[in-house]
Amino acid sequence: MTEVKIVMLENCQDLFPAKAHCDDAAFDLRSRVDMELPPGRSTLVPAGFCMELPVGFEAQIRPRSGLALKHDIMLTNSPGTIDAGYRGEVGIIMFNAGTQPFPVKRGDRIAQMVICQLPEVTLTAAVSLSETGRGTGGFGSSGKN
């Protein structure tokens, strides 16, 4: 099992990242503050903790589907990546795509965090690539079906 050290900021012990169910893929992240997300803008919402990821791992910060569906709340840089070398407070960049301000209360679940192991990868300079059926076809090139 991989250990990730979590340090909670002062008076934030109740916000410790946790899975709602034992078979969940992600840890729920909660807001450290009461605030309002203005419509049409990105806002940084602090989560009340710092962490130490092992080298070779990242934390991916992902949106909550209920906030997106019911309230038009998204994460601007989804998924956000937290690198193993970062030791500051985790913050969630939330975007209100709705038309009204959206209230965030301390303790509200605002995002999800998945811890992922990274493969060892070497990028190699090349002069050509192998042929495929798709080739250089990009965005929308595979049709609508």
Q: How far apart are the C-alpha atoms of 143 and 145, rounded to whole Å?
A: 6
Judge contact between 78 and 63, C-beta under 8 A: yes
**Chain mean position to CA 52:** 16
Tell me what pLDDT residue 112 has: 97
Tell me what pLDDT residue 138 has: 76
Tell me what pLDDT residue 27 has: 98
Tell me what pLDDT residue 48 has: 98
Q: How far apart are the C-alpha atoms of 57 and 114, rounded to whole Å?
A: 10
Closest CA to 113 of 73, 86, 72, 78: 78
For the entire predicted model, the pTM comes to: 0.89
Residue with tokens 């309230």: 71
CA distance readout (Å), 75 to 32, 44, 47: 17, 10, 14
Q: Give the chain's radius of gyration (CA, Å).
A: 19
Tell me what pLDDT residue 145 has: 56
Tell me what pLDDT residue 59 has: 98
Tell me what pLDDT residue 99 has: 96
Token couple for 41: 């803008």
Spell out the per-residue pLDDT of the chain, length 145, in tens. 999 999 999 999 999 999 999 999 999 999 999 999 999 999 999 999 999 999 999 999 999 999 999 999 999 999 999 999 999 999 999 999 999 999 999 999 999 999 999 999 999 999 999 998 887 777 776 666 5
Token couple for 11: 């008076």
